[in-house]
Structure 1
Amino acid sequence: NALNIGVRYQLFHGLSLLVLALNAKKFNSNINKSLNLMTTGICLFSFSIYLLSFQKSVNLSMTFLGPITPIGGVLLITSWITLFFSIKKID
């Protein structure tokens, strides 16, 4: 179940990054902050979930990754807030 969550979040944010990157010139410089936060957040969030899901398969303890997942989530939330305010400034 956790692996599915990681995959869904990575897919959704990957598509969002693609759409935003293709339209980045239409926005102000704050869009780059949002893109960077989203990229970092999805890497921390999804990849920590992937590694935690596979830790039983490889017989390694990766519990140190547990606190990294919420940090990635906070970065994702921050990226969406930054994106909202950068789009709101344009209108």
Structure 2
Amino acid sequence: MKEFVLIVGGVYGALAVIFGAFGAHGLKKILNAEQLKSFETGVKYQMYHALLLILVGVIFPFSGFSQNLMGWFLILGVFFFSFSIYGLVISAARGRKMAFLGPVTPLGGLLLVMGWILFTVNISAIAENIRF
């Protein structure tokens, strides 16, 4: 799981850079200001959590259920949150909004919050052993 979390963190980070550039340059002409801001929110949250995934991949051994669950919550949370925003924004800009993605975004946000809670629980358990 540790290697998977690190790989996903790297992939999410690379995609955040690509999507950020795409939003700033390629979508600027077809999105209104509100849509562009929503797209940028998806990119920011994706990058923040890509960095968190890399951090937890370095710090945690992923030897217990709680740490594995934290990894899955963060991975799936980013996917549901950011990618549903991308789908909603781009589909709305093309005049065919995929409304079924609307409930997916808050589900992703909930998973991210749960991932952060598990991060806090797990980091407090090993804090005395971390040396930077």
Q: Offset of 1:28 from its aligned partner? A: 5.2
- Provide structure 1 residue ranges, at least 5 long, that are not aligned to the other structure: none
AA matched with 1:4: E
* TM-superposed deviation, 1:87: 1.7
Counterpart of 2:55 in structure 1 is 19
Aligned to 1:51: 87
Counterpart AA for 2:119: L
C-alpha contact 2:42 2:85 (8 A) present in aligned 1: yes
Q: TM-score normalized by structure 1?
A: 0.88
Number of aligned positions between the proteins? 90
Larger-gyration structure (1/2)? 2
Identity, % of aligned positions = 36
Matched residue, 2:117: 81
Q: Following the alignment from structure 2 to structure 1, what is the Cα–Cα distance between the partners of residues 85 and 99? A: 11
Regions of 4+ moved over 6 Å: none
**Which gives a bigger RCO, structure 1 or 2 (Cα 8 Å, sep 6+)?**
1
Provide TM-score, normalisation by structure 2: 0.62
Aligned-pair RMSD on alpha carbons?
1.5
